[in-house]
Structure 1
């Protein structure tokens, strides 16, 4: 019985780790995308200002 309980706990911990790793990867991708969009926005603002100036 103890072996089954330990095996089940190990499986749960593995699933939790996989879920957290997936969530972290998703959040990192969202952060990188946001930074890229911000850089592009700043670049376009600079181009518009140079055209107007």
Structure 2
């Protein structure tokens, strides 16, 4: 009887630890996906800002030289 109780407790403990491990793996994976998604969004936003600045700079330089050339 004592041996069966010990085996049952060991099995229950193992089951609880395995469940917690699975839950933590899911939580870690979810966090990792959210982090990678946020990093991709920031990278895309930075690229958009760079494109806007290039357009503005190109437009400004073009207008500046057009003014001096009399066009």
- Pair in the same fold by TM > 0.5: yes
Q: Residue 61 of structure 2 aligns with which residue?
A: none
Cα root mean square deviation, aligned: 0.4
1:50 positional shift:
0.6
Q: Provide TM-score, normalisation by structure 2.
A: 0.73
Q: Residue 10 of structure 2 aligns with which residue?
A: 6
Which ranges in structure 2 are unaligned for 5 or more consecutive residues? 58-71
Which ranges in structure 1 are unaligned for 5 or more consecutive residues? none
Rg larger in structure: 2
Q: Provide TM-score, normalisation by structure 1.
A: 0.98
- Is 1:38 the counterpart of 2:28 in the alignment? no
Q: Residue 47 of structure 1 aligns with which residue?
A: 51
Q: Count the aligned residue pairs.
A: 53
